[in-house]
Amino acid sequence: MDYFTESAQETTALGQKIGFNLKPGTTVALFGDLGGGKTTFLQGLALGLGVKERILSPTFVISRDYPLSSGGRFYHFDWYRLENEKQAQALGIEELFGGGNIVAIEWADRAKKILPQKRIEVYFKQGEKDLERKITVLEKN
Choose among 29, 31, 82, 77: nearest CA to 56.
77
pLDDT band per the 50, 70, 90 thresholds, residue 127: confident
Helices (H) and strands (E) in the chain, counts: 3, 7
Provide the 8-state DSSP code for 55: P
Boundaries of every domain in the chain? 2-140
Q: In this predicted model, what pLDDT tens digit does every residue of 23-32 receive, in sequence order?
A: 999 999 999 9
Q: What is the CA radius of gyration of the chain?
A: 14
Architecture category of domain 2-140 in CATH: 3-Layer(aba) Sandwich (3.40)
pLDDT surpasses 70 at 60: no
